[in-house]
A and B are shown apart, each in its own frame.
Chain A
Amino acid sequence: MKIVELGESALKKGRDLAIENKKFLDTKGVFAFDVMGSVGSGKTSIIKWLVRKLKGDYKIGVIAGDLTTEVDALRIEEEGVPVVQAHTGRVCHLDPGLVRTAIENLPLDDIDVLFIENVGNLICPAAVPIGVHKEMVVISVTEGPYMIKKHPYMFQRVDYVAINKIDLQKAMNVSVHGLEEDLRELNPNAIVIGTNGITGEGVDKLIQCMSFQQ
């Protein structure tokens, strides 16, 4: 019998890969956002609006993370910017290895700003850094009034929160203000903007608050 002392981090490999991704993007002059949120919160719609409104000023690229389909990638491609689909198969989050492969399949010399749409899930993506400059969460009033309270890990370090489907506040009896109050309990620094993924309302305001370089 023998005891082998290891003292090795089981998370280090992934965290190091994420750091490498960010460094690689820096060398290419690409500023990247990880866009997270629940299934159906409107991540793709908000990314489409961001692309539509920003593509005159920046060269945009998108990585669309999904389990097995290409629905989101095809929707974003309609905006005429390079999109790479990253399939996770059965896994509930993007990982830095998948992201690296996707990044390498993009024409990085022609990209200034990269949006990476994570898999729809408010839990696992928060645990797995992929190597970006800023993090955004898209939630929607249709998810009910407790989404932020219930997911402190996701919200406590995020940079931007788009509260989507603001036109349904009354029907859902859920207010942007109430969700924002919950967020302030966890994260006083995040920028919070109400949005409508159908009409694009709030997206200009969101863009005004976002930074696109370090």
Chain B
Amino acid sequence: MHEFSTVKNIVERVTEVAEKEDAREILRLDIELGELTLLEEEQMRFWLEVMLSESRLGKSTKVVLHRIPGVIQCNKCGYKGGLETTNLDHLFPILKCPKCESFDLEVTEGEDCIIKSLEIDK
């Protein structure tokens, strides 16, 4: 459900940019979706398609979502890289160093949702 407010921001922003460019239509929208956000890919796609279709310039926009894996830097052992899921049957990675099991770490990638680019018809 929280995807709704993020998508609302995205659609407002890309509409604003497209209008400034005097676009007739937004043909394609590329979004980077961090795996450590709580934004679910299918929900994002659903809301983007619904809200774009109801916007003036997004009636036939192709939505392309790029999944960005989470990357951490461990403050204890220096490991830098991806995360592992745990034995708790989670699809969601746990913020724990896969090398030394420390919880003392910084997330360096995968915690954001980036409006990468839009393709417009002028």
Binding site for B on A (CB under 8 A): 1-14, 91-93, 95, 123-124, 126-128, 149, 152-153, 156-157, 182, 185-189
Residues of A within 8 A of B51 (CB): none
Flag if B5 contacts A152 (CB, 8 Å): no
**A185 with B88, Cβ < 8 A, contacts A1-B121, A128-B2 known:** yes
Kindly report which residue of chain A lies nearest to residue B117, judged by CB atoms: A5
Interface flag for B113 (CB, 8 Å): yes
Kindly report which residue of chain B lies nearest to residue A153, judged by CB atoms: B38
Instruction: Give 4 nearest A-B pairs by CB, closest first.
Output: A127-B38, A124-B2, A10-B113, A6-B115
- Name A123's contact: one of B38, B90, B120 (CB within 8 Å): B38
Residues of A within 8 A of B63 (CB): none
Q: Can you report 17 residue pairs joining A to B where beta carbons are below 8 Å apart?
A: A1-B119, A1-B122, A2-B120, A3-B119, A4-B18, A6-B116, A10-B6, A10-B115, A92-B2, A124-B2, A124-B38, A127-B39, A128-B2, A128-B5, A152-B94, A186-B94, A188-B103
Chain B binding surface SS class: mixed
Flag if B120 contacts A9 (CB, 8 Å): no
Binding site for A on B (CB under 8 A): 1-2, 4-6, 9-10, 13-14, 17-18, 21, 23, 27, 31, 37-39, 86, 88, 90, 92, 94-96, 103, 112-122
Complex CA–CA separation, A96 to B2 (angstroms): 13
Flag if B113 contacts A11 (CB, 8 Å): yes
Residues of A within 8 A of B9 (CB): 10, 13-14
Name the distance in Å between B97's Cβ and chain A's nearest Cβ: 12
Complex CA–CA separation, A93 to B6 (angstroms): 13
Flag if A8 contacts B121 (CB, 8 Å): no
Complex CA–CA separation, A10 to B113 (angstroms): 6
Kindly report which residue of chain A lies nearest to residue B119, judged by CB atoms: A3
B39, B95, B122: which has the most chain A beta carbons within 10 Å?
B95
Name the distance in Å between B44's Cβ and chain A's nearest Cβ: 10
Residues of B within 8 A of A127 (CB): 2, 37-39
**A2 with B13, Cβ < 8 A, contacts A188-B103, A189-B103 known:** no
Flag if B27 contacts A1 (CB, 8 Å): yes
Kindly report which residue of chain B lies nearest to residue A154, judged by CB atoms: B38
Complex CA–CA separation, A9 to B113 (angstroms): 6
Kindly report which residue of chain A lies nearest to residue B33, judged by CB atoms: A10
Kindly report which residue of chain B lies nearest to residue A12, judged by CB atoms: B112
Kindly report which residue of chain A lies nearest to residue B111, judged by CB atoms: A11
Flag if B5 contacts A4 (CB, 8 Å): no
Residues of B within 8 A of A182 (CB): 88
Flag if B117 contacts A3 (CB, 8 Å): yes
Flag if A10 contacts B94 (CB, 8 Å): no
Residues of B within 8 A of A3 (CB): 117-120
Complex CA–CA separation, A157 to B106 (angstroms): 12
Kindly report which residue of chain B lies nearest to residue A91, judged by CB atoms: B5
Flag if A10 contacts B13 (CB, 8 Å): yes
Flag if B1 contacts A124 (CB, 8 Å): yes
Kindly report which residue of chain B lies nearest to residue A5, judged by CB atoms: B117
Complex CA–CA separation, A187 to B5 (angstroms): 28
Residues of A within 8 A of B39 (CB): 127
